[in-house]
Amino acid sequence: MQETPALKGALQVVRALREHGFRALFAGGCVRDAVMGLQPRDYDIATDAGPDEVVRLFPKTCEVGAQFGVVRVRLDGHDYEVARFRRDAGYTDGRRPDQVIFSDEREDAFRRDFTLNGMFYDPVEGRLIDHVGGQEDVRRRILRAIGDPERRFSEDHLRLMRAVRFAARYHYAVEDATLAAVRRLSHEIVTVSRERIRDEVLKILTEGGAPLGIRMLIDLGLMQHLMPEACALAGVPQPKAFHPEGDVLTHTLIMLGMMRDPTPTLAMGVLLHDIGKPPTYEVADRIRFNNHPKVGEGMTRDICARLRLSSEETERIAVLVREHLQFMHVRDMRPSTLKRFLRQAHFSEHLELHRLDCLASHGDLSSWTFCRETLEQIGPEEIRPALLINGDDLVALGYRPGPPFRRVLTAVEDAQLEGRIGSREEALALAQEEFEKLGLGHDRDVKRIS
Ligand code: ATP
Ligand code: MG
């Protein structure tokens, strides 16, 4: 393990516990990562000290799960979860143990989900403690439930998602009995809270192995309970000229596999960008999916609501889906339309989704290149110039505030973005012309009415 600041703090926590006569070990994900030769992200510590004792030993602590014996310790800006060795007893709700019984490290290993997650490491003695055969499974690249898979998944249905996440992230094969159990119990996923499902789906999409993860969710029967719309992507044919790669699911999975460190919103946008294709599929002069971005936008909003994404995230993903085909038209857009397109919120995500869309199909990046070059050439002042006039100016001219204001001001900004006007006077004159076009007469008429 490389001596990072996070590791230094973790060692300090272990040493302090040991100096006070407790046993303390690195546990779970950090041990797995180290055994795999990866850099651990955070360090969890398992100990025989109780929460009260941990709280007494460190200046900054927070009891995050007192009933589970878990305390969060803060040291030099890093957080460490310090948990008492325990075994879990009696699962009745399919998610959380009814009670936990504090015990020893062996039992603590056997309550964990998969062998790769069930190892401990003693950093003082430099010794791996592996009661569950985790090291051998990592060597053979196998994901295996600890103990009887059916029982372990029945205890906690979230483990169904975790199995997919870890297998996909590391490209591990799932051991036969573990795989069979996930398949047999997949329908139980509906008992897990949507927030927890959302978190797992987003991790599957962003932490590596996304195409494999999505494929597994579909093949193992989980996806039909989470997002049946995504199952429907399979087998929907596309015109060969634009999509030599194959059906809509194949195209989507290729895109997922080409993502580079995506945000959750981009990854969801990629997964859902063609979600409107199955319901709009028709064979006319060729295979067509008329209006699929708009249909897809609506479906996306449904899916995001179901997954309890925030309204901000939902908006961002839905707009990615709705706009993804606009890139086709960028070279034919009027300058004002193009500038508005290029300056929309989170445009880098739109651009990246489009890049992936091209690379996973025909490979033609000319629209992508055009957008990038245009953005470089015109700069922020030209793309979003200071407005020449605003609503107050229209009021000063004698017009009453109302819905036409927006249309008039948009027309004035369009003219500015296209270089047809450049001064405040020209803007005011154009505003009056626009009001007349709308049949609203000019200021004196309006004044007389009011
Ligand atoms: P990540 O890299 O995603 O953080 P992690 O292994 O650290 O992976 P956590 O969810 O942080 O995952 O859990 C820490 C450890 O706790 C796991 O390694 C595993 O040993 C155990 N664990 C977590 N969730 C469960 C669960 N639902 N059932 C059994 N054991 C679990
Ligand atoms: Mg973790």
Dihedral angle at the C-alpha atoms of 407, 412, 414, 420, nearest 10 degrees? 150
Coil, strand, or helix at residue 268?
helix
SS in 3 state form for 328-342?
HHHHHCCHHHHHHHH
Q: For the chain, what are the domain ranges?
A: 5-135, 227-383, 391-437
- Mean pLDDT throughout 340-356? 97
Measured by CA distance, the residue closest to atom 22 of ligand 1 is 112
pTM for this entry: 0.92
Nearest to 209 by CA among 143, 156, 123, 274: 143
**135 pLDDT higher than 50:** yes
pLDDT tens readout for residues 390-432:
999 999 999 999 999 999 999 999 999 999 999 999 999 999 9
Minimum mean pLDDT among 97-101, 114-118, 227-231, 239-243: which range? Answer: 97-101
What ligand has the least distance to the C-alpha of 40?
A: 1
What ligand has the least distance to the C-alpha of 114?
A: 1
Minimum mean pLDDT among 84-93, 196-205, 257-266, 301-310: which range? Answer: 84-93
- Mean pLDDT throughout 237-254? 93
pLDDT at residue 96, rounded to an integer: 81
Minimum mean pLDDT among 46-55, 83-92, 245-254: which range? Answer: 83-92
Q: Give the span between the Cα atoms of 347 and 343, in whole angstroms.
A: 7
Q: Give the span between the Cα atoms of 381 and 383, in whole angstroms.
A: 6
Measured by CA distance, the residue closest to atom 11 of ligand 1 is 29
Mean pLDDT for the chain? 94
Measured by CA distance, the residue closest to atom 17 of ligand 1 is 28
CA of 61 to the centre of ligand 1 (A): 21
Measured by CA distance, the residue closest to atom 10 of ligand 1 is 29
Measured by CA distance, the residue closest to atom 7 of ligand 1 is 29
User: In testing the pocket of ligand 1, which one of 39, 117, 138, 156 has its CB within 8 Å of the most ligand atoms?
Assistant: 117
Q: Give the span between the Cα atoms of 224 and 217, in whole angstroms.
A: 8
- Was domain 227-383 assigned CATH 1.10.1740? no
- Mean pLDDT throughout 318-334? 97
pLDDT at residue 280, rounded to an integer: 96
**211 pLDDT higher than 80:** yes
Measured by CA distance, the residue closest to atom 21 of ligand 1 is 112
Q: Label residue 351 by pLDDT band (50, 70, 90).
A: very high
pLDDT at residue 449, rounded to an integer: 40
CA of 117 to the centre of ligand 1 (A): 7
Pocket of ligand 1, beta carbon within 6 A: 28-29, 44, 112-113, 117-118, 156, 158-159, 162
pLDDT at residue 441, rounded to an integer: 62
- Mean pLDDT throughout 170-194? 98
- Mean pLDDT throughout 62-88? 91
* Cβ-contact 25, 121 below 8 angstroms: yes
Measured by CA distance, the residue closest to atom 18 of ligand 1 is 28
pLDDT at residue 98, rounded to an integer: 81
DSSP string, 370-400: HHHHHHHHHHHHHHSPPPS--HHHHHHTTPP
Q: Give the span between the Cα atoms of 14 and 125, in whole angstroms.
A: 11
One-letter identity of residue 280: T
pLDDT at residue 3, rounded to an integer: 85
Nearest to 297 by CA among 229, 365, 224: 229
- Mean pLDDT throughout 157-179? 98
User: In testing the pocket of ligand 1, which one of 113, 200, 206 has its CB within 8 Å of the most ligand atoms?
Assistant: 113
CA of 162 to the centre of ligand 1 (A): 9
CA of 80 to the centre of ligand 2 (A): 10
Determine which helix (DSSP H) or strand (DSSP E) holds 27, and give its type and residue range: strand 24-27
Our measurement of the distance from residue 384's CA atom to the centroid of its chain's CA atoms, rounded to an integer in Å, reads: 29
Q: Give the span between the Cα atoms of 235 and 277, in whole angstroms.
A: 11
pLDDT tens readout for residues 387-400:
999 999 999 999 99
**447 pLDDT higher than 50:** no
What CATH architecture is 5-135?
A: 2-Layer Sandwich (3.30)
**448 pLDDT higher than 70:** no
